[in-house]
Structure 1
Amino acid sequence: MLPVVLNLATVNLTNEQFYRLCQVNRDLQLERTARGELVIVPPVGGRSGNREADLITELNIWNRQSRQGKVFSSSTVFKLPNGGDRSPDAAWVRLDHWENLTPEEQEGFPPICPDFVIELRSRTDSLQPLQEKMQEYLNSGLRLGWLINPQNEQAEIYRPDRAVEVVGFPVILSGENVLPGFILNLPF
């Protein structure tokens, strides 16, 4: 099952309307691109769901030890500063960035770009839309991102002001200076 993309560029869906649309359609995972397209993301299968859970677990274990930020699942929609409302498979926001948000902003779709994201390509995902999504994060202030691609046995590393680095499996990814001490062994 592939994502369904609706072109709503001329509809001008407000942030409040998008939020309400998501609230009344809780059974759907909805995203909005920076271009104003509405993306209906299909559910993932068992293997991808298990891999996603492993990624979040590894990130959360590191974060519980470091206490440097907040970890988020793929159910969280972030309102990105440069447009778009996106849900990474795993995300991390530095604690001081999170605490700068009001309680209302924390409760809704946080108006912030995560400092770190992981996107995991599932069996039915096309690669190019995920790469475009990673660029949206970078354009909005992402400090480090990993696009994990089990089908091609590789990972793409996204950093500001640098070309995307592609590494093959097996590989150990480092959280670098964004997540000091965090490492992820791939394949997992």
Structure 2
Amino acid sequence: MSLTIQDLEKIQSEHPDYRMELVDGEIIVMSPSGYESEEVATGFAAELLKWVKPRKLGRVVGSSAGFTLPNLDLRAPDVSFVFAERLRRSPRSFAELTPDLIVEVKSPGDRLKKLRAKIDEFLSFGTKVGILINPENHTVEVYRSGQGVITLGDTEVLTVPDLLPGWQVAIADLWAPEFD
């Protein structure tokens, strides 16, 4: 039986404490992120928002914001950015568009193959840039449709000049700090 977004909304209303996505007509219950990966995602979103908001470039949201994709899947990247001209007002429910930028942060229970497939799905529907952050090996993979993957390490700087000219973040600054 293939479920719809309306089915998901009903189930979600009955189980508000669970985060869910709709993928190929099946509801996927999302487990909580690992602490470190959530800290990395929150830090990334903060860095991006700190640059985007004063320039009024668009919207930055976290993992609880759902996007209805053209194939009627409902997906929620860890961090998303949508240009202001594409989303003038925040929808009360799910955004019925594909974000311009998505970020996935690997949690301990995630499989890289699934995260990469999720990024590829978004790219196939029009997302311009997908980023996979892996705190386990301190790498960042940058995806663009029809281009090879760019892998960055701790000594490098992430930029997205095609979407956010001038914005940058040092890869080494993405990781959760260690306090002595």
Q: Same fold (TM over 0.5)?
A: yes
- TM-score of the two chains, using structure 2 as the length reference: 0.88
The answer for the alignment partner of 2:22 in structure 1 is 32
The answer for the alignment partner of 1:140 in structure 2 is 125
Shift of 1:172: 0.9
Number of aligned residues: 173
Matched letter for residue 16 of structure 1? Q
Shift of 1:26: 1.6
Asked whether the 8 Å contact 1:113–1:142 carries over to 2, the reply is yes
**In structure 2, what is the Cα distance between the partners aligned to 1:142 and 1:82?**
14
Is the alpha carbon distance of 1:171 and 1:38 closer, same or farther for their aligned partners in structure 2, counting shifts above 3 Å?
Answer: farther
The answer for the alignment partner of 1:158 in structure 2 is 143
The answer for the alignment partner of 2:163 in structure 1 is 178
Matched, 1:57 2:46: yes
Secondary structure in 2 aligned to 1:52? Answer: helix
Shift of 1:13: 1.0
Matched, 1:18 2:3: no
Shift of 1:58: 0.5
1:79 to 68, 80, 92: 68
Secondary structure in 1 aligned to 2:136? Answer: helix
**In structure 2, what is the Cα distance between the partners aligned to 1:109 and 1:12?**
20
Matched letter for residue 80 of structure 1? L
Shift of 1:113: 0.6
The answer for the alignment partner of 1:89 in structure 2 is 78
**In structure 2, what is the Cα distance between the partners aligned to 1:37 and 1:20?**
14
**In structure 2, what is the Cα distance between the partners aligned to 1:152 and 1:98?**
35
RMSD between aligned residues: 1.7
The answer for the alignment partner of 1:7 in structure 2 is none
Asked whether the 8 Å contact 2:152–2:171 carries over to 1, the reply is no
**In structure 2, what is the Cα distance between the partners aligned to 1:15 and 1:37?**
10
Matched letter for residue 26 of structure 1? P
Name the % identity: 29
Matched, 1:108 2:93: yes
**In structure 2, what is the Cα distance between the partners aligned to 1:44 and 1:20?**
24
Secondary structure in 2 aligned to 1:91? Answer: strand
Asked whether the 8 Å contact 1:82–1:139 carries over to 2, the reply is no
Secondary structure in 2 aligned to 1:179? Answer: coil
| Alignment gaps of 5+ in structure 1 | 1-10
The answer for the alignment partner of 2:33 in structure 1 is 44
Matched letter for residue 137 of structure 2? N
